């Protein structure tokens, strides 16, 4: 159970000439839920993108991670012209085309099943966010890297998502997410405060 899904040691993140973070070390084991905390502009998104190997930044240091990763960023790769169902069915990240049943279940879990066949462009910001997060309720990779997953969600949505994080962690997965709010995940939440790694 303790095979690390992600191991970063003495990682430095640089954006142009500006050093964002230095000497970040983090080991994400199966069953972990990590929050990358810190104020605006501290480098949460940059570090997460570095973990996803999507860096538009320079990364120094050692980074090892498993290959099956789900990354969800600010822009959710949802097409307004497609319905939520079509969006999930043909999401560009996924190899396993999910079944109709799995998609129904996922959309129901995030509470947008009633809008499954409406154009995504007609949904509200929060509903779109929920459609994007429905990916987490489909059969998914072990390591989740989520950028601000709680944005635009209502209280009930936040609760559902937190419960899903814990469920995923208990079934052998791991979650790393950024947020500047403190999540109510109890003892199982580990927090990496990036304010301590600022600059040089």
Partner 1 sequence: MTDQSGIDTLQYLSGQTARHVRLQLASPSEIVNPLLFFLLVVILFPLGLGPDPERLALMAPGILWVVALLANLMICMRLFVDDFEDGSLEQLAMASTPLALSVIPQLLAAWMTGGLVLSLAAPLFGMMLGLPVSAVPVLVASLLMGTAIMLLLGAVGAALTVGVRRGGILLALLILPLYIPVLIAGTRALDEALHSGDPVVALAFLGAGVTGGLLLAPLAIAAGLRVSLEL
Q: Which residues bind partner 1 (CB under 8 A)?
A: 52-56, 67, 69, 71, 73-79, 81-82, 86, 89-97
Q: Which of 93, 81, 71 is nearest to 144 (CA)?
A: 71
- Report the alpha-carbon distance of residue 175 to residue 30 in Å, rounded: 9
Q: Which C-beta is closer to partner 1: that of 40 or that of 75? A: 75
- Report the alpha-carbon distance of residue 54 to residue 41 in Å, rounded: 18
Smallest separation, CB 196 to partner 1 (Å): 27
Smallest separation, CB 19 to partner 1 (Å): 18
Smallest separation, CB 46 to partner 1 (Å): 12
Q: Which C-beta is closer to partner 1: that of 55 or that of 113? A: 55
Smallest separation, CB 195 to partner 1 (Å): 26
**Cα torsion 78, 83, 84, 86: sign:** negative
- Report the alpha-carbon distance of residue 200 to residue 198 in Å, rounded: 7
Q: Which C-beta is closer to partner 1: that of 69 or that of 169? A: 69
What b-and-e string marks burial along 117-151, b requiring 16 or more CB atoms within 10 Å of the CB? Answer: eeebeebeeebbbbbbbbbbbbebbbbbbbbbbbe
Q: Which C-beta is closer to partner 1: that of 31 or that of 43? A: 43
3-class DSSP assignment, residue 132: helix
Smallest separation, CB 186 to partner 1 (Å): 31
Q: Which C-beta is closer to partner 1: that of 92 or that of 186? A: 92
Helices (H) and strands (E) in the chain, counts: 5, 8
């Amino acid at each position: 159970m303790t095979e690390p899904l992600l191991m970063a040691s003495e990682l430095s993140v640089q954006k142009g000439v500006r050093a964002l973070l230095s000497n970040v070390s983090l080991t994400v084991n199966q069953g972990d839920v990590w929050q990358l905390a810190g104020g605006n502009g501290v480098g949460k998104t940059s570090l997460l993108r570095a973990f996803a190997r999507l860096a538009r930044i320079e990364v120094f240091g050692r980074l090892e991670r498993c290959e099956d990763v789900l990354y969800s960023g600010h822009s959710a790769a949802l097409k307004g012209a497609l319905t939520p169902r079509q969006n999930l069915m043909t999401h560009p990240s996924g190899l396993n085309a999910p079944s109709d049943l799995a998609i129904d279940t996922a959309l129901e879990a995030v509470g947008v099943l009633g809008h499954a066949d409406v154009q995504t462009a007609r949904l509200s910001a929060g509903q779109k966010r929920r459609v994007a997060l429905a990916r987490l309720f489909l059969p998914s990779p072990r390591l989740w890297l989520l950028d601000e997953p709680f944005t635009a969600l209502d209280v009930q949505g936040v609760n559902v998502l937190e419960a899903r994080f814990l469920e995923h962690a208990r079934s052998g997965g791991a979650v790393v997410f950024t947020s500047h709010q403190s999540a109510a995940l109890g003892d199982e939440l580990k927090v990496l405060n990036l304010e301590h790694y600022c600059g040089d």
